[in-house]
Structure 1
Amino acid sequence: MSTRTRTYRISFHNQGKVYEMYARNVSHGGMPGFVEVEKLLFGEKSVLVVDPTEEKLKAEFENVERFYVPLHAVIRIDEVSKQGSARITAGGDKVLPFPMIYGGNETKS
Structure 2
Amino acid sequence: MAKTLYKVTFLNAGKVYELYAHQVASGALWGFTEVSELVFDVHDGVVIDPTEERLRDEFGNTRVLHLPMQSIVRIEEVARKGQSAIRDAATGEKVITPFPLPSKPR
Q: What's the counterpart of residue 12 of structure 1?
A: 10
Q: Give the aligned CA root-mean-square deviation in angstroms.
A: 1.6
- Residue 5 of structure 1 aligns to a residue whose secondary structure is coil
Q: What's the counterpart of residue 92 of structure 1?
A: 90
C-alpha distance in structure 2 between counterparts of 1:93 and 1:81, whole Å: 28
Change over 3 Å in CA distance of 1:32–1:43 after alignment to 2: same
**4+ runs deviating over 4 angstroms:** none
Q: TM-score, normalised by structure 2?
A: 0.80
1:40 paired residue among 24, 38, 43: 38
Asked if 2 retains the 8 angstrom alpha-carbon contact of 1:43 and 1:84, the reply is no
| Offset, 1:46 | 3.0
C-alpha distance in structure 1 between counterparts of 2:68 and 2:77, whole Å: 19
C-alpha distance in structure 2 between counterparts of 1:24 and 1:64, whole Å: 13
Contiguous gaps of at least 5 residues in structure 2: 93-106
Q: TM-score, normalised by structure 1?
A: 0.78
Contiguous gaps of at least 5 residues in structure 1: 95-109
Percent of pairs identical after alignment?
Answer: 38
Q: What's the counterpart of residue 55 of structure 2?
A: 57
Structure exhibiting the larger radius of gyration computed from Cα positions: 1
Aligned residues: 92
